[in-house]
A and B are shown apart, each in its own frame.
Chain A
Amino acid sequence: MAGPGSKHKPVARPRNAGKIIKRLLKYMSIYRFQLIIVGILIIISSFASVAGNYFLKPVINNYIVPFIGKENPDLSGLVSILILMGAIYLTGVLASYLYARIMVNISTGTLKKMRTDLFTHMESLPIKYFDTHTHGELMSRYTNDIDTLREMISQSLPNMFSSGLTIIGVFIMMLVLSPVLTVLVILMLVLMLNIIKFLGKKSGAYFQKQQRELGRLNGYIEEMIEGQKVVKVFSHEEKVLDQFGRLNDELAVASTNAHTFANILMPIMGNLSYLQYAITAAIGAIMAVNGAGIDLGTIASFLQFTRSFSHPITQMSQQLNSILSALAGAERIFEVLDEAPEKDDGCVELVRAQYNINGELIETESKDGIWAWKYPHDNGSITYIPVKGDVRFEDVTFGYEENKTVLKSISLYAKPGQKIAFVGSTGAGKTTITNLINRFYDVPDGKIRFDGININKIKKAHLRRSLSMVLQDTHLFTDTVMENIRYGRLDATDEEVIKAAKLANAHSFIKHLPEGYNTVLTADGANLSQGQRQLLAIARAAVADPPVLILDEATSSIDTRTEALIEKGMDTLMEGRTVFVIAHRLSTVRNSNAIMVLENGEIIERGDHDDLIAAKGKYYQLYTGMFELT
């Protein structure tokens, strides 16, 4: 029995309980053997506890009562029966320890497997999946759903099994003793089950209401605490308190109802079993006195059994709720596991290569080799194509959702070493273009070619390794600064990392951190300013040393003075690489070889800075500040 808190989850029912149970069992099948042993151990331990409750009376009757009042009674019989009982009990104790101990193994192991599977699978899902599911939603698979599953595996299942055993055992015993009285007990049982069902339904509805109110209140709390500084600036405290008070009151009403129903189940069931006992005793006694074929000893034993009937039933009814919500959780977990992973039917790989004496490109193990595409042909032959960074879009049309085109028949080319910039307002499709190059999304129409190879033919991992992205929202991991930069290339040496940091102009602030490069960044690098985080992201891209670089608003959070400072580093970084730049600040894109002005998914202007200024079109207007970029 866990604390009352654990039962306060709303009962969400799985859609197909049978199928989920089957799948769960299959999932746990490596523990098949252990599970069977656990089953046997539970039977032994239940037997021992039944023995404890019901065989004491015969022991007393047979080994104690006959000696009452006798001088020098022969107690050897009592001694040996007590030793026997001790042995049974001890077996029971051992059995219940062992099964609990094995269950700990099974449950921790299963949970680990489930977590790792979930995570591994999550890592393999396409970006599109993360667009359509909130973080909170996925997080709750790891927390709530796995937690309820743990509760079910380690507590509810064994409990159900042993309660079920007890109920069956007791039921058989009662049937043997008196079928008539058993019918009576069953009638009472039906009544009890109905009460359980009624209360369950009521409390379920109230819990759902409570959950809703809780969601509303927590949402309000979150919004107001996030905006706390605005509340203060406007001296709006009183108003906020008013609204909060109302929501808080509403939650309290729903919550009181929900908890009341959860709280009264036990006393109702417990006392109903007393009622049942009294009624059974009375009817049994009347039957016995009227000679209805039942003797007093039978009634006494029967009554003993009725007493231990209601407890396991209440237990089972409570466990049932947690099992149902665990199954619903398992269903949600399996749903994630069933999501199709990122499709990849590419065959072209990125390898190191060098020219042999004949001037042919061949693969090499050496780290000094140049990068090359390894292109296997259908006839088994292999061609090596040097990686240059030539990227072409040929008539690409794309939308995240069907019927909603974001890019309309885009054609463009970037020759090796060129810097191509995209300018346009939010939603014009700038980021989408870069997302297509590294195949975060796949293009149905048109073709994107990388060094002449259709990118759909390149293995995703290899394609992405040839590109480096610096995104607008810099993401850092909980690790040292050194490791965060090294993320760009795991085999980079410390010297290479520091060199990259210097290039990005991040070295000076890193040195001032308490532990320098060994400073552990926490909670998404919250202890760094936005600008510093962007510098780290640039260093990370520098360490990766790819032929193609994508900078998506990479310098937007760096003030213009600092940007001027890192400009040299950026120039070095971009040298000899094909670079795609998305920038809000037009000063960043000025020196590009070509600038594409995007609007509503179409390229409306293209050319270099001087061309576009001379054309006096949209770019000119943007540049002179007549329009606002949003």
Chain B
Amino acid sequence: MVKKLLPSLGEFKKFAILTPLLVIAEVILEIYIPFLMSKIIDVGIKNSDTNYILKIGALMILMALFSLLFGVLAGKFAATASVGFAKGLRKTLFEKIQMFSFANVDKFSTASLITRLTTDINHTQVAFQISIRMLVRAPIMLISATLMAYTINPRLCIIFLVAIPLLSAAFYLIGTKAFPLFKEMLKKYDGLNAMVQENLIGIRVVKAFVREDHENEKFRKAAEDVRLAQLKAEKLLVLNMPIMQFVMYGCMIAISWFGGNMIIRGAMETGELMSFISYVTQILVSLMMITMAFVIIIISRASMTRIVEVIDEEIDIKDNSSSEDPVIGDGSVVFENVNFSYSKNEDNLTLCDISFEIESGETIGIIGGTGSAKTTLVQLIPRLYDVLSGRILVGGHDVKEYRLDTLRNAVAMVLQKNVLFSGTIKENLKWGNENATDEEITEACKIAQAYDFIQSFPDGFDTQLGQGGVNLSGGQKQRLTIARALLKKPKILILDDSTSAVDTATDSKIREAFSQKISNTTTIIIAQRISSVCDADRIIVMDDGKIDAIGTHDELLATNSIYREVYESQQKGVA
């Protein structure tokens, strides 16, 4: 897993390597300084040797200054490396997501992709910084302190042989027991938050049905569950500190006894005993730091797994990498025995055996109930998804023979869920063609019947849109997205229920403009309203993933029951 994440370090690799080195230097000085401190007491003060004290004092100050320098640099480098790592990861992930096909995006869901790019990367950053700092510092501290203790008195070190395994075992046990409990608690906690979120969104429903007490009772139960889970987990964790103290105090008493006996026998100095004890403290504290670091890393492992999942995701639509990129001759579209399934499963087909031909410049309407796979059908044309079997030809070539951007530049699609981005109207329109002139923009907006309302805004084309175009009405948004697609000057234009919020009069004006201004463009229109498609050259009636009929309005009205039913449901009552 780590192997897949580390390449994201990039140029910050040197900082990631320098940090541990500096930490090591800092720790060694830190270990050595107490040794000098005991010298000041044991030799300098004992012998009233001012010169010695000043000399050792100066040395100590010098070392402290160096240690300070190393420490500060290590801190800075650690920050640089871990922030750089996060930045690299974010970039890797975001680039990968940009390569995602629709199927890939569907698989992850937008919310989960956002979490991965934000929260999960933060957790990984924290874990990384701990790895290059705390996880270097603590073991080095442990080793050097053990070595120092060993040079003072090897025999007393036998105590460590008891203490360290004992403590490690205790920490390990607590850790392994507590970890699943914490996971359980976090799950309950997520559930609790989800409940709050639900109530926030549905507050009107709660109030309309007078269910406040019901919700309160539900919440109280969930909150109690969280409390109990938290209690259970933390009950274990609070054992850490007392156990640590117990072992440490045990060591001190044991050392005082055995060390005391050695001193009496002349095998040890009193000052040595004091130093020995301070090294013992350091050893045990390092041990605790190591466990804590591991706990944090283990917790962030889930985040790392989620990040790696994105990195590992197989892009299911591969761009044609060969040098051949045929020119798209015209706007003809051919479906040959196309089967399609979102789950890539033969038994769960969304589209079943679809075959039809559209000539360049034709206008095709598609009609059908919710779930009849109209959207799925048109999304296959710009290769937003790949067919399961059969093939689709655009301009005479299989869509897989084109490079993706060639294909998608020739096929403009206005999605059902139309998205505008924060920025000005003009900036949004230029998504269609970055180099569009003002004349071209005006022309496209006139065709889409958007020009007039844009002009009615005080800032015209420079009007700022909020995220998602919040300050526009549904119909206005739809007309802007149509204009945006027109600016691509596509060979094929697909409107997926894109005029549903536009009134019928404007809707027909748009279609009229299409037939006058862009008559060479193949136009495919999905609509709920019969009036949006009735004047198309041909209309495809979809039902449950199959083509039920193809024909003109009059033909279908005469022969197709679904079409007639839809027609009638919309005609009722019109005077």
Query: Interface on chain A toward B: helix, strand, loop, or mixed SS?
Result: helix
- Interchain CA distance A337-B566 in the complex, whole Å: 53
The reply to whether A275 and B64 form a contact with Cβ atoms under 8 Å apart is yes
The reply to whether B94 and A233 form a contact with Cβ atoms under 8 Å apart is no
The reply to whether B570 and A559 form a contact with Cβ atoms under 8 Å apart is no
> Taking the complex as formed, is A73 at the interface, i.e. its CB lies under 8 A from any CB of chain B?
yes
Q: How many A-B residue pairs have CB under 8 A?
A: 425
The reply to whether B198 and A478 form a contact with Cβ atoms under 8 Å apart is yes
In the complex where A115-B223, A235-B405 touch, is A252 in contact with B83 (Cβ < 8 A)? yes
| Chain A residue, CB-CB nearest to B255 | A56
> Taking the complex as formed, is A223 at the interface, i.e. its CB lies under 8 A from any CB of chain B?
yes
Which residues of chain A have C-beta atoms less than 8 A from B208's C-beta?
438, 464, 467-469, 471
Which residues of chain A have C-beta atoms less than 8 A from B422's C-beta?
223
In the complex where A228-B110, A252-B87, A271-B64 touch, is A282 in contact with B273 (Cβ < 8 A)? no
Write out, one digit per residue, whether chain A residues 435-461 have a CB within 8 A of any chain B CB (1) or not (0). Answer: 000101000000000000000000011
The reply to whether B245 and A92 form a contact with Cβ atoms under 8 Å apart is yes
> Taking the complex as formed, is A490 at the interface, i.e. its CB lies under 8 A from any CB of chain B?
yes
> Chain A CB within 10 Å — which of B100, B200, B409, B570 has the most?
B200
> Taking the complex as formed, is B165 at the interface, i.e. its CB lies under 8 A from any CB of chain A?
no
The reply to whether B419 and A226 form a contact with Cβ atoms under 8 Å apart is yes
> Taking the complex as formed, is A274 at the interface, i.e. its CB lies under 8 A from any CB of chain B?
yes
- Interchain CA distance A561-B46 in the complex, whole Å: 101
Which residues of chain A have C-beta atoms less than 8 A from B277's C-beta?
56
Which residues of chain B have C-beta atoms less than 8 A from A5's C-beta?
122-123, 126, 296
Residues of B205-219 contacting chain A, CB below 8 A: 205-212, 214-216, 219
The reply to whether B473 and A630 form a contact with Cβ atoms under 8 Å apart is yes
Contact segment of B142-150, B235-243, B352-360: B235-243
Contact pick for A475, options B54, B202, B226, B412, CB 8 Å: B202
> Taking the complex as formed, is B495 at the interface, i.e. its CB lies under 8 A from any CB of chain A?
no
Which residues of chain B have C-beta atoms less than 8 A from A464's C-beta?
207-210
Contact segment of A118-126, A372-380, A568-576: A118-126
In the complex where A64-B260, A89-B249, A271-B65 touch, is A264 in contact with B48 (Cβ < 8 A)? no
Interface residues on A, range: 35 or more
A460 to chain B, nearest CB (A): 8
> Taking the complex as formed, is A625 at the interface, i.e. its CB lies under 8 A from any CB of chain B?
yes
Residues of B484-514 contacting chain A, CB below 8 A: 484, 488, 501-506
> Taking the complex as formed, is A590 at the interface, i.e. its CB lies under 8 A from any CB of chain B?
yes
| Chain A residue, CB-CB nearest to B296 | A3
Which residues of chain B have C-beta atoms less than 8 A from A252's C-beta?
83-84, 86-87
The reply to whether B113 and A225 form a contact with Cβ atoms under 8 Å apart is yes
- Interchain CA distance A396-B144 in the complex, whole Å: 82
> Taking the complex as formed, is A413 at the interface, i.e. its CB lies under 8 A from any CB of chain B?
no
> Taking the complex as formed, is A256 at the interface, i.e. its CB lies under 8 A from any CB of chain B?
yes
B479 to chain A, nearest CB (A): 10
Contact pick for B473, options A123, A268, A426, A609, CB 8 Å: A426
- Interchain CA distance A488-B117 in the complex, whole Å: 39
> Taking the complex as formed, is A289 at the interface, i.e. its CB lies under 8 A from any CB of chain B?
yes
> Taking the complex as formed, is A65 at the interface, i.e. its CB lies under 8 A from any CB of chain B?
yes
> Taking the complex as formed, is B332 at the interface, i.e. its CB lies under 8 A from any CB of chain A?
no
The reply to whether A65 and B253 form a contact with Cβ atoms under 8 Å apart is no
- Interchain CA distance A558-B569 in the complex, whole Å: 13
- Interchain CA distance A143-B484 in the complex, whole Å: 41
B324 to chain A, nearest CB (A): 19
The reply to whether A263 and B253 form a contact with Cβ atoms under 8 Å apart is no
> Taking the complex as formed, is B320 at the interface, i.e. its CB lies under 8 A from any CB of chain A?
no
The reply to whether B408 and A232 form a contact with Cβ atoms under 8 Å apart is yes
Contact segment of B33-41, B156-164, B341-349, B440-448: B33-41
- Interchain CA distance A323-B56 in the complex, whole Å: 40
Write out, one digit per residue, whether chain A residues 568-599 have a CB within 8 A of any chain B CB (1) or not (0). Answer: 00000000000000000001001000000000
Residues of B159-216 contacting chain A, CB below 8 A: 192-212, 214-216
> Taking the complex as formed, is B97 at the interface, i.e. its CB lies under 8 A from any CB of chain A?
yes
A483 to chain B, nearest CB (A): 11
> Taking the complex as formed, is A40 at the interface, i.e. its CB lies under 8 A from any CB of chain B?
no
Which residues of chain A have C-beta atoms less than 8 A from B105's C-beta?
228-229
Which residues of chain A have C-beta atoms less than 8 A from B122's C-beta?
5
The reply to whether B100 and A487 form a contact with Cβ atoms under 8 Å apart is no
The reply to whether B204 and A127 form a contact with Cβ atoms under 8 Å apart is yes
Residues of B279-302 contacting chain A, CB below 8 A: 292, 296
> Taking the complex as formed, is A78 at the interface, i.e. its CB lies under 8 A from any CB of chain B?
yes
The reply to whether B242 and A270 form a contact with Cβ atoms under 8 Å apart is no
The reply to whether A564 and B260 form a contact with Cβ atoms under 8 Å apart is no
The reply to whether A274 and B33 form a contact with Cβ atoms under 8 Å apart is yes
| Chain B residue, CB-CB nearest to A274 | B64
| Chain A residue, CB-CB nearest to B205 | A475
Which residues of chain A have C-beta atoms less than 8 A from B210's C-beta?
460-461, 464-465
- Interchain CA distance A228-B421 in the complex, whole Å: 11
Contact pick for A59, options B95, B226, B256, B468, CB 8 Å: B256
The reply to whether A562 and B369 form a contact with Cβ atoms under 8 Å apart is yes
Across the A-B interface, give the 7 residue pairs with the lowest CB-CB distance, nearest first: A267-B71, A625-B504, A263-B75, A628-B503, A630-B473, A475-B202, A259-B79
10 CB contacts below 8 A, A to B, read: A4-B129, A70-B264, A225-B117, A255-B79, A272-B68, A303-B37, A461-B210, A469-B205, A560-B528, A562-B369
